[in-house]
Copies of this chain bind each other. A is one copy, B any other.
Amino acid sequence: MTDAVTHASAGLAPETAARLRDRIITGRLRPGERLSEARLAAEMSVSRNTLREVFRLLVHEGLLTHLPHRGVSVAVPSMAGVLDIYRLRRLIEIPALAQAWPRHAAVARMGAEVAQAQAAQAAGDWRGVGSANMRFHAGIVALADSPRLTAFFAQAMAELRLAFGLLDDPEQLHAPFLQDNAAIIDLLQAGDPQAAAARLADYLDRSERVVMTAFARREHAAGAGGRGA
């Protein structure tokens, strides 16, 4: 499992995009940081042209922002953006879950994700908990059986994760919500999607409040020099 060149059967640009995406999500590249084409191209051992292609990809995913003639920088999550994404999540996840077929194939995957999240929690791997949680909610969207919606949602969640990366305390962020996921699965398998959807709505409200609170606190203390992680 070397970090370099896992296996680039999909072409160099997508692989480089994945590497850069990882750097952004793990926080090695900080929001607002400017990305010089020449420097980064040399550092990642790809040509400037290929890197530009990568940039287009990640800009479209919302992880980078592009200003004409001023280059690209890592997107800085805004409170407006976080609010927008939670509005999205309500609009998409709740109906998807409410009208779900309880024996849908995605339900099994969601159960697996809950187990994986619990395992990661036991191992103290908070990043893993977050990943599993996101895949769980991607599973909810998959219940709607729309490839386009699934792709779009994954993109929005990646952007949300960017905001998570800004916050300090990943444990407090994800831990209280693991039981919600388990409860949602139970209600769904019990044949009561409406109750599951209600529980999901409640989860979204609480999750949003936690994130927004932490976000506002951080934004308030922005000039105080307290840098996260």
Q: Specify which of B11, B52, B85, B95 is in contact with A91 (CB 8 Å cutoff).
A: B95
Does B53 lie within 8 Å of A91, measured CB to CB?
Answer: no
Choose the segment among A27-35, A146-154, A215-223 that binds chain B (4+ C-beta atoms closer than 8 Å): A146-154
Is the Cβ of A84 less than 8 Å from the Cβ of B49?
no
Q: Is the CB of B92 within 8 A of A91?
A: yes
Please, which residue of chain B has its CB at the minimum distance from the CB of A56?
Answer: B56
- Asked if A169 lies at the interface with its beta carbon under 8 angstroms from chain B, I say no
Min CB gap A129→B, angstroms: 25
Contact status A149-B88, CB under 8 Å: yes
Known: A56-B57, A91-B96, A95-B91. A85 touches B148 (CB 8 A): yes
- Contact between B146 and A91, CB atoms less than 8 A apart: yes
Interface string of A123-157 (1 = CB under 8 A from B): 00000000000000000000011111100100010
State the interface size on chain A (CB cutoff 8 A): 26
Alpha-carbon separation in the docked complex, A52 to B10 (Å): 16
Distance to closest chain B CB from A198 (angstroms) = 16
Is the Cβ of A146 less than 8 Å from the Cβ of B87? yes
| Closest chain B residue to A13, Cβ basis | B56
Over the window 54-98 of chain A, the binary record of Cβ atoms lying under 8 Å from chain B Cβ atoms (1 yes, 0 no) is: 001100101000001000000000000000110110011001100
Q: What 1/0 flags go to A33-57 for Cβ under 8 Å of B?
A: 0000000000000000100110011
Give the CA-CA distance A95 to B144 in the complex, in Å. 15
Contact indicator B10/A84 (Cβ below 8 Å): no
Select which of B49, B85, B149 is within 8 A of A49 by beta carbon: B49
A56 vs B96: C-alpha distance when bound (angstroms): 30
Q: List 16 A-B contacts (CB under 8 A).
A: A10-B68, A11-B68, A49-B49, A53-B56, A56-B57, A84-B146, A84-B147, A87-B144, A87-B145, A87-B146, A88-B148, A91-B96, A91-B146, A91-B149, A95-B95, A152-B152
* Residues of chain A at the chain B interface (Cβ within 8 Å): 10-11, 49, 52-53, 56-57, 60, 62, 68, 84-85, 87-88, 91-92, 95-96, 144-149, 152, 156
